[in-house]
Amino acid sequence: MIHYPELLKADTVNSVQSARCRFCGTQLRRTVVDLGVTPLCESFLTADQLNQMEPFYPLHVYVCEQCFLVQLEEYVSPERIFTEYAYFSSYADTWLEHCKRYADRMVERFHLTYQSQVVEVGSNDGYALQYFIEKKIPSLGIEPAINVARVAIQKGVPTRTEFFGTESAQRLVREGIQADLLYGNNVMAQVPNLNDFVAGLKILLKPDGVMTIEFPHLMQLVAGNQFDTIYHEHFSYFSFITVEKIFSTHGLNLFDVEELPTHGGSLRIYACHNDDTSKPVSALALALKQREQQAGLTELAYYAAFDEQVKETKRKLLEFLIEAKRAGKSVAGYGAPGKGNTLLNYCGIRTDFLDYTVDRNPYKQGKYLPGTHIPIYHPDKITETRPDYVLILPWNFKDEIIHQLAFIRTWGGQFVVPIPEVSVIS
Ligand SMILES: [Zn+2]
């Protein structure tokens, strides 16, 4: 029997058949969820681009039967995605506080001084490194997006504009740079060549250095139904168990872990060289491994159940929007994050349901969301138009946004949060 999706994707069938796990090379055959075809979630459109053709790519997630790495195929080259990237981390207050606390804690726990070297991989606009620089600790950022790296350099954060891997790590070592603290926040998911990236981390870390890596926790993604955090820019989705396997293959040992509330539930793993015996494995790391096993993350059935769960979330959100529109209500969006674009494209929500969205990032204002062509305005638009509902797209910042927009209640406005399932907050 031939299914329509297979016909539509006929030109990609060859690549689907030959797709292999980006860590262990096993052929990818097990679907976790198929979100259809969508445009790249950060390719915002200007008004004169609206009538042009727009590239859409499959958003089909697989799990490797061998190592359980959940992953997308690489449909688009990372150079194309990341050289002009619209996401400036500095626009979210909660996230800045998170980074400041991180710097304080690392300096205290690992006794960093003005003689230490901190390196951040995927340093964005320097938002996190600035807190180490404030403390006069030598710091270096590595960031491939040219426009974003330029902002960091203007702010006085030393930044190299390049993709990180073994080649760039070896270059830094030759220049005499090795890290006492090497870290990356939400960068590992975006790495196409995972083995080269982790091997590069190993090279750049001093013999007694510490590495921390933060990434959204796959177990939370599944439990919280956060399918909208899946997009082309995120090639991989990690559990602790799989990351431990990857790092251990490259001679790195995970000795501690923290569970963080950021991005709907993240892990911060702590790694050192596997011959560094000064850092014993913490009870938290052992306990998390056990919890993942109990939750089923090392069994294929766990991944197979996700697809239906996602479809049901879509049906519930559409049901709400259809009822709201039938009742003559107006709905505006808040935010234009990558996750919003996955959600809106997968659910088929355009200006038929959502009049517009707003964003604090001036780079996005005046542009249109990819695929759905919903216009993006300055947040003042909400005060001008007084919508009945505000759909919060970056739901991971919902408390902060509800606090900022508390004034919508003066005209009876209510908040709508789409994930884990649609809910109204008045
Ligand atoms: Zn694998």
Ligand 1 centroid to Cα of residue 21, in Å, is: 5
CA distance 133 to 130: 5
Ligand 1 centroid to Cα of residue 238, in Å, is: 12
Ligand 1 centroid to Cα of residue 63, in Å, is: 8
Give the 3-state DSSP-derived string for 173-228, with helices as H, strands as E and coil as C: HHCCCCEEEEEEECCHHHCCCHHHHHHHHHHHEEEEEEEEEEEEEHHHHHHCCCHH
Ligand 1 centroid to Cα of residue 409, in Å, is: 49
Ligand 1 centroid to Cα of residue 20, in Å, is: 8
Ligand 1 centroid to Cα of residue 127, in Å, is: 33
CA distance 110 to 95: 22
Look at residue 87 and tell me whether its pLDDT is greater than 80: no
Residue type, 246: I
Look at residue 92 and tell me whether its pLDDT is greater than 70: no
Ligand 1 centroid to Cα of residue 370, in Å, is: 32
Ligand 1 centroid to Cα of residue 65, in Å, is: 7
Ligand 1 centroid to Cα of residue 298, in Å, is: 12
- Sheet containing 331-334: give its strands across: 376-377, 357-358, 331-334, 389-392, 414-417, 423-425
| Residue 73 pLDDT level (bands cut at 50, 70, 90) | confident
Ligand 1 centroid to Cα of residue 279, in Å, is: 28
| Residue 8 pLDDT level (bands cut at 50, 70, 90) | very low
Look at residue 82 and tell me whether its pLDDT is greater than 80: no
111-149 pLDDT, tens digit each: 999 999 999 999 988 999 999 999 999 999 999 888 889
Look at residue 1 and tell me whether its pLDDT is greater than 80: no
Look at residue 235 and tell me whether its pLDDT is greater than 80: yes
Rounded average pLDDT over 264-280? 96
Ligand 1 centroid to Cα of residue 361, in Å, is: 38
- Identify the H or E element spanning 160: strand 159-160
Ligand 1 centroid to Cα of residue 12, in Å, is: 21
Predicted local distance difference test score (pLDDT) of residue 78: 63
Predicted local distance difference test score (pLDDT) of residue 42: 83
Ligand 1 centroid to Cα of residue 71, in Å, is: 9
Ligand 1 centroid to Cα of residue 24, in Å, is: 4
Look at residue 5 and tell me whether its pLDDT is greater than 60: no
Least confident of 49-58, 103-112, 144-153, 385-394: 144-153
Ligand 1 centroid to Cα of residue 194, in Å, is: 11
Helix (H, G, I), strand (E, B) or coil at 156: coil
Look at residue 4 and tell me whether its pLDDT is greater than 50: no
407-423 pLDDT, tens digit each: 999 999 999 999 999 99
Ligand 1 centroid to Cα of residue 66, in Å, is: 5
| Residue 373 pLDDT level (bands cut at 50, 70, 90) | very high
Kindly state the tokens that stand for 138: 């030598």
Residue 406, phi-psi category: left (phi > 0), alpha (psi -120 to 50), beta (remainder): alpha
Look at residue 193 and tell me whether its pLDDT is greater than 80: yes
144-190 pLDDT, tens digit each: 888 889 999 999 999 999 999 999 999 999 999 999 999 999 899 98
Rounded average pLDDT over 231-260? 96
10-41 pLDDT, tens digit each: 334 344 456 899 999 999 999 999 999 999 98
Kindly state the tokens that stand for 94: 């909660």
Look at residue 95 and tell me whether its pLDDT is greater than 90: no
Ligand 1 centroid to Cα of residue 26, in Å, is: 5
Ligand 1 centroid to Cα of residue 246, in Å, is: 9
Predicted local distance difference test score (pLDDT) of residue 16: 46
Ligand 1 centroid to Cα of residue 208, in Å, is: 29
